[in-house]
Amino acid sequence: MHRRQGYRWRKAAGGRIPTAPRVVSKRYLCLQERLTIADLHLNGHGIRAIATDLGRAPSTISRELTRNGTPGPGRRPRSTLAPRPRSYLPYAAHQRAAARAARPKVAKLDDAVIGPALTAYVSAKMDLRWSPEQISRTLAQAYPDRQELRVST
């Protein structure tokens, strides 16, 4: 390879040395699996049939279709409790999954809006030697209507 080609590649990568594509763990769905899910779902296969075909758990497929599906153009069934049929767009689903997996994530205690109040509450309870489980539970009880103040242990 010629030196100029290396310069072109670096320039195309925004001035940084291009890195190899990140290898994603088999624990997560890849784009090819999402394409297969979309094809089988579009052809009317059930969740268990898709899971068997991919060698995944049915709950994984159900969660993927629920989390990354979009309400379809179909009408809502007569029953008010029945959800609207969902369509599944695999490329958009893959982008949303990548965005959710991005690191580092902003910690709730560092958030400009809720951070100071949450930090003061957690610090006060830590000074009393409360466990993280106790703090998490009392936050849920003290602020039942504010989901942004929930912390997990």
* pTM summary value: 0.54
pLDDT of 79 over the 90 cut:
no
Q: What is the pLDDT of residue 51?
A: 96
User: Hey, how many other C-beta atoms are within 10 angstroms of the C-beta on 51?
Assistant: 19
- Record the tokens describing residue 146, joined without a space: 């504010």
Mean pLDDT, the chain, rounded, equals: 82
Higher per-residue pLDDT: 81 or 25: 25
The more confident residue out of 37 and 15 is: 37
Is 38 within a domain? yes
Q: Which segment of 75-84, 92-101, 121-130, 140-149 scores lowest on mean pLDDT?
A: 75-84
Q: Are residues 97 and 117 in the same domain?
A: no
Residues 32 and 90 in one domain: yes
Q: Say yes or no to pLDDT of 40 above 90.
A: yes
Q: Let me know whether 16 and 65 are in one domain.
A: yes
Between 18-22, 28-32, 90-94, the lowest mean confidence (pLDDT) is in: 18-22
Q: How far apart are CA 118 and CA 108, in angstroms?
A: 8
For residues 55 and 93, membership in a common domain is answered with yes
Band (pLDDT 50/70/90 cuts) for residue 120 is confident
Does the residue 5 lie in any domain? no
Segment 128-145 mean pLDDT: 89
Q: Which domain holds residue 116?
A: 108-149
Q: Are residue 18 and residue 39 in the same domain, yes or no?
A: yes
**pLDDT band with cut points at 50, 70 and 90 for residue 117:** confident
Q: Of all residues in the chain, what percent carry a pLDDT higher than 90?
A: 32
Instruction: Count the domains in the chain.
Output: 2
**Which pLDDT score is estimated for 78?**
59
d(CA 153, CA 134): 9
User: Are residues 115 and 109 in contact, defined by beta-carbon separation less than 8 angstroms?
Assistant: yes
